[in-house]
């Protein structure tokens, strides 16, 4: 019997900043910055989600030169203030 190994990835909704955690098989891992269409239960519609491995690690090590990563960090931090 083969044992499957999984990694966890966090997906950040680009509309509201909501964070969803999903499992991916180790061989099917996507790079940081992968955009996925996924249903957001806060927006109540299918939206674009930005993939990061770990949110806390991403916030600590984001690349200031990439505008896309800066915008995602602002979304995450703005959502945490409102919770």
Nearest to 8 by CA among 61, 19, 16, 18: 19
| CB contact burial 61-83 (16+ within 10 A = b; e otherwise) | ebeeeeeebeebbebbeebeeee
**Residue 60, pLDDT above cutoff 70:** yes
- Quote the Cα angle for 78-18-32, to 5°: 95
The pTM is what? 0.80
Residue-wise pLDDT for 7-45, tens only, equals: 899 999 999 888 999 998 888 888 888 899 999 999 999
């Amino acid at each position: 019997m083969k044992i499957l190994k999984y990694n966890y990835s966090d997906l950040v909704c680009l509309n509201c900043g909501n964070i969803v955690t999903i499992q991916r098989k180790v061989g099917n891992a996507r790079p940081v910055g992968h955009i996925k269409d996924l249903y957001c239960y806060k927006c109540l519609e299918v939206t674009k989600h930005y993939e990061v491995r770990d949110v806390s690690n991403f916030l600590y090590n984001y690349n200031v030169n990439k505008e896309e990563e800066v915008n995602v960090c602002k979304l995450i931090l703005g959502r945490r203030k409102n919770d």
